[in-house]
Amino acid sequence: MFRTAYALTGDVHVAEDLVQETLERACRQWRKVAVADSPEAYVRKVLVNLANDRWRRLSRRGERPGLSGVPETADPRDRFGQVDLRAELIEALLGLPMGMRSVVVLYYLHDLDARQVADVLDISSSAVRSQLARGLAKLRDSVSGAQAPHTPSAAFGGTK
């Protein structure tokens, strides 16, 4: 959950707050969560909706959240060994519109297929595929110059 929140917000502290608020809401609605077909998907949807709500509030005020809490240099203990690339990727993700960012994060970080992403975001599968294609093109353009992985999830240790 934290990885998703961080990828959506780009701020460690905001991501922690988002996870905490998501878990709080899930606990308050536990009877509803427990009987859901997939409690994990239910909680994931709450997280994405809270991130979208936060983004809308900030954009109405004219603020643009920045990247914070990312190390400047690679930590040798980092098992991914690509901290700089991950920081650049997060910065590029923050440049995407929130809907497109949500599609990319759910598809690559959570390994959901287009239909599952469509269910979480309440959009059509074709809209997911379109948003994903445009989002990846924008990410490739903004992460140019660095040795980018073939897919965004490679920088996060994902499988796609």
| DSSP letters for 102-129 | HHHHHHHHS---HHHHHHHHTS-HHHHH
What was the pLDDT predicted at 157?
53
Task: Let me know how long the chain is.
Answer: 160
Joined tokens for residue 146: 């660095």
- Give the ranges where 29-160 is alpha helix by DSSP (H): 30-35, 39-60, 83-95, 98-109, 114-121, 125-142
Q: Give the 3-state secondary structure of residue 11.
A: strand
- Per-residue pLDDT of 18-47, as tens digits, reads 999 999 988 898 888 888 888 888 888 889
> What are the domain boundaries of the chain?
1-68, 78-145
Band (pLDDT 50/70/90 cuts) for residue 70 is very low
Domain 78-145, CATH among 2.60.40.10, 1.10.10.10, 3.40.50.300, 3.30.200.20: 1.10.10.10
142-151: string of b/e by CB count within 10 Å (b at 16+)? bbeeeebbeb
What was the pLDDT predicted at 114?
93
Is 1 a residue whose pLDDT tops 70? yes
Please, are residues 66 and 80 in contact by the beta-carbon 8 Å criterion? no
Q: What letter does residue 58 receive in the DSSP assignment?
A: H
What pTM value is reported for the model?
0.59
Quote the CA–CA distance of 144 and 160 in Å, as a whole number.
20
